[in-house]
Amino acid sequence: MQPPFQFLVRPQKGVRYDNTKTIGGKEFILSASQEDHTTTNRFAVVVALPITYHGEIKKGDILLVHHNVFRKYYDMKGRERSGPSFFMDDLFLIDYDQFFLYKHGGRWQCADPYCFIKPVDKIEEDLKTKSTEQELIGIVRYGNTTLTEKGIKEGDVVSFQPESEYEFTIEGEKLYRMFTKNICILLDTWK
């Protein structure tokens, strides 16, 4: 089975929601709501590639997907429904714009036009806000070909547009997904 235009995927670990955490040997439920986007599984395993696809992604690779891919919702009559990506059983069809990062050959890589930025700590503590992160400044954690062509590589410190951060946790690390066009300035020095 090979779709003509979409990736055929299944949720990693076979679950749609990643809403439990083990603390001290006991499992705790973080959220019981199926509509809570923060606890949906964001990782998908590629089952089949689109016939029209000729890129680096291969069958078995991991994709970091949009929070609505596996999410369930309730319709106007209160019936539980799967979102439009649902195909059958535990299989889902996703478009190119529904994944942001892919793990191929043991290494995470961005799909253009996305990049991932690691927030940096504040230089001075600001008593007005509780944030420990410097606003609008971060380190390129996962770049893309467009950034590389512009001379911005992984590890560079950049400034980005306000309200462009979309938070993900990847392998225990907090990162912001944003579009390439949200990167404003390459900073020469930091701290």
pLDDT tens readout for residues 116-150: 999 998 876 655 666 788 889 999 999 999 999 99
Let me know if residue 1 belongs to a domain.
no
Would residue 82 count as lying in a domain? yes
Alpha-carbon dihedral sign for residues 167, 135, 147, 184: positive
Q: Find tokens 């504040």 and name the residue.
A: 122
Domain boundary among the residues 109, 139, 167 is at 109
Per-residue pLDDT tens for 22-43?
A: 888 888 777 666 666 666 778 9
| Final residue in a domain of this structure, among 109, 131, 164 | 109
pLDDT for the residue numbered 95? 95
- Residues 6 or more apart in contact with residue 26 via CB below 8 angstroms: none
What are the angstrom distances between the C-alpha of 84 and each of 130, 137, 148, 149?
38, 36, 34, 35
Same domain? 11 vs 104: yes
Residue 143 one-letter amino acid: G
Mean pLDDT score, 43-57: 94
Residue 32 placed within a domain: yes
- What is the per-residue pLDDT for 80? 87
What is the pLDDT, as a whole number, of residue 138? 95
Q: Are residues 94 and 37 in the same domain?
A: yes
The rounded distance, in Å, linking the Cα atoms of 98 and 64 is 9
184: left (phi over 0), alpha (psi -120 to 50) or beta: alpha
CB atoms within 10 A of CB 137: 18
Q: pTM of the entire structure?
A: 0.83
User: Is 19 among the domain residues?
Assistant: yes
36 with 59, same domain: the answer is yes
45 pLDDT exceeds 80? yes
Look at residue 143 in the predicted model and tell me its pLDDT: 94
- Would you state the structure tokens that stand for residue 60, as one six-digit string? 């078995």
- Is residue 17 domain-shared with residue 91, that is, in the same domain? yes
Q: What domain range is 72 assigned to? A: 7-109
Give yes or no: residues 143 and 88 share one domain: no
Same domain, 24 and 103: yes
**2 lies in a domain?**
no
Instruction: Assess whether 83 and 149 both reside in one domain.
Output: no
Residues 20 and 92 placed together within one structural domain of the fold: yes
Range in 16-20, 148-152, 173-177 with the lowest mean pLDDT: 16-20
Indicate if 61 and 141 belong to the same structural domain: no
CB neighbour list of residue 171: distance below 8 Å, 6 or more residues apart: none
Write the CB contacts of 189 (distance below 8 Å, at least 6 apart in sequence). Answer: 157
pLDDT class of 86 with cuts at 50, 70, 90? very high
Q: Is residue 118 situated within a structural domain?
A: yes
**β strands within the chain, DSSP E:** 7-11, 20-23, 26-29, 43-48, 62-65, 72-74, 80-82, 86-88, 91-94, 99-104, 107-110, 114-121, 133-142, 157-160, 166-170, 173-179, 183-187
Let me know whether 22 and 90 are in one domain: yes
> Is 65 found in the same domain as 18?
yes
Domain C-terminal end among 49, 79, 109: 109
Mean pLDDT computed over every residue of the chain:
88
Using DSSP, state whether 157 is helix, strand or coil.
strand
Are 151 and 162 in a shared domain?
Answer: yes
Provide the pLDDT for residue 41.
77
